[in-house]
Amino acid sequence: MSIQHLHSAEDLEQYVAKPGKKLLFKHSTTCPISAKAYEEFQTYLKDNDTDAAVVLVIEDRPVSNKIAEDFGIKHESPQIFLLEDGEVRWNTSHWKITQSSIKEAVSQ
């Protein structure tokens, strides 16, 4: 399962528009909490066939800001969203991003 990297507003819009459930992860490459959360995210994806994308919050700040604006959810990082039909069905951040929390959210 490959993780798509979103580098532009267009990338983000195309990804959000895709049908079905998908995960969107905001990752800070300088944050140890984010590194741990990203590991959990990747571990979840190894065993589950869910579309997934990542935005690097420092390198692609405009995309990260657009997520907060478009969904009206305060920016945090690390942060994960479960999207379906262009809407956020679930989101959480920091230490709450675990393999099991993602699994539970996706299976709802």
- pTM for the structure as a whole: 0.96
**Sequence ranges of the domains in the chain:** 4-107
Please enumerate in sequence order all residues whose Cβ is within 8 A of that of 15, keeping only pairs 6 or more positions apart, or say none: 4, 6, 22, 24, 53
Decide: helix, strand or coil at residue 89: strand
What is the pLDDT, as a whole number, of residue 2? 78
What is the pLDDT, as a whole number, of residue 68? 96
What is the pLDDT, as a whole number, of residue 48? 95
Low-confidence ranges of the chain (pLDDT < 70): 1
CATH number at 4-107: 3.40.30.10
Are the C-beta atoms of residues 37 and 94 closer than 8 Å to each other? yes
Q: In angstroms, how far is CA 45 from the centroid of its own chain?
A: 12
